[in-house]
Amino acid sequence: MTRHVRTAIFPVAGLGTRFLPATKATPKELLPVLDTPLIQYAVDEAREAGIERLVFVSHPSKSAIERHVMEDMRLTKELRARGKADVADALSEAALSPVEDDARFVMQTEPKGLGHAVLCAKDHVLDGPVAVILPDDLILGQVACLTEMVEAYADGSVGHLVATMEVPEDKVHRYGILSVTGKAGSIVMADGMVEKPKAKDAPSRQAVVGRYILDPSIFSALETQPPGAGGEIQLTDAIARGAADLGLGGFQFSGTRFDCGSKAGMFEATLELASRDPECLAVLKAHGLVRPGPAVAA
């Protein structure tokens, strides 16, 4: 079986309730960190990792996501006519071309959970393992998280590889937590995971964040997955079920992760990227807001 990852799934159909009222009319995935929407960072990461097909699982009310990620010929033409060729070039480069790129949009009409959203992509993926990227988890580092994971997956033997980071004990209840059995380089081996455990019940402090490379059997697992926490079909439950047969690894990525699905995380990511922009850095300095310590590398 090939270990080459050709498809990335972007689940973007959620309600974004933690960010209301901002997300009432604007999809959470289009909220910007400085001037770049979250979905753009995710698309850039997938392309950098050599992904061939991008499958967006969206909702009819969130069509602005498709308008953002796909090339807008009318806009770029207009920009060129106004002498803004540099802006037009930058937009074209960032966008997906309907001719040269392989992007698909699938609708999840009811927000039945992340696992259900991934299942909606089933008929649209290429052969082999699939990557899943949650755009509201922004990971900044020298090497993109998915690039590191694709490499580790190709060399490794686990069927499911999930991005993990160590979190303090008082935060374990917010994450899926791995039940760790050992460690091999940057990969912690696990025999299961628990969704949002109480601190006293958590099997470790290795929290799963929004990057996954999954064995294609994940789709059959999701088809028979009963609803879990919150009445939703949970991706973590389906991954955990395959752990014994397929092998489950937690990849300890080198970058820094920002939870941009929350106000505090979005604010922190904004501060980080603002500190790299000369104009914004001057504003931060004027307000005494320059972060101590070295900035996270781009």
Task: Enumerate binding residues for ligand UTP (CB under 6 A).
Answer: 11-19, 28-29, 57, 108, 111-114, 116-117, 134-136, 261
Output the smallest distance, CB 59 to ligand UTP, in A. 8
Nearer to ligand UTP, 42 or 96 (CB): 42
Query: How is residue 9 written in tokens?
Result: 């799934």
CB 243 within 8 A of CB 160: yes
Give the end-to-end CA distance of the chain in Å, rounded to a whole number: 34
Residues 110, 128: Cα–Cα separation, whole Å: 27
Which CB sits closer to ligand UTP, 108 or 236?
Answer: 108
Residue 21: asked if its preceding bond is cis (omega within 30°), the reply is: yes
Name 192's Cβ contacts closer than 8 Å, sequence gap at least 6. Answer: 178, 179, 203, 240, 243, 244, 248
Nearest residue (beta carbon) to ligand UTP:
14
Query: Which residue matches tokens 């990525």?
Result: 253
In terms of CB distance, is 134 or 150 closer to ligand UTP?
134
CB of 10 to ligand UTP, least distance (A): 7
Q: How far is the CB of 114 from ligand UTP (least distance, A)?
A: 5
Where does the chain have alpha helices with state H? 38-48, 63-69, 73-81, 85-94, 114-120, 145-155, 218-223, 235-246, 263-274, 278-286
Question: For residues 13 and 222, which CB has a smaller minimum distance to ligand UTP in the complex?
Answer: 13
Of 97 and 109, CB closest to ligand UTP: 109
Residue 71 or 259: which CB sits closer to ligand UTP? 259
User: What one-character-per-residue DSSP string does 71-109 give?
Assistant: --HHHHHHHHHTT-HHHHHHHHHHSBPTTTSEEEEEE--
Shortest Å distance, C-beta 26 to ligand UTP: 12
Query: What does residue 175 show for φ and ψ, rounded to 5 degrees?
Result: -130, 165
Which residues, 6 or more positions from 16, have their beta carbon under 8 angstroms from its beta carbon?
A: 23, 27, 28, 261
CB of 63 to ligand UTP, least distance (A): 14
Least distance between ligand UTP and beta carbon 29 (Å): 6
Minimum separation from the CB atom of position 117 to ligand UTP (A): 4
Closer residue to ligand UTP in complex, CB, 38/274: 38
How many other β-carbons are positioned within 10 Å of the β-carbon of residue 148?
A: 22
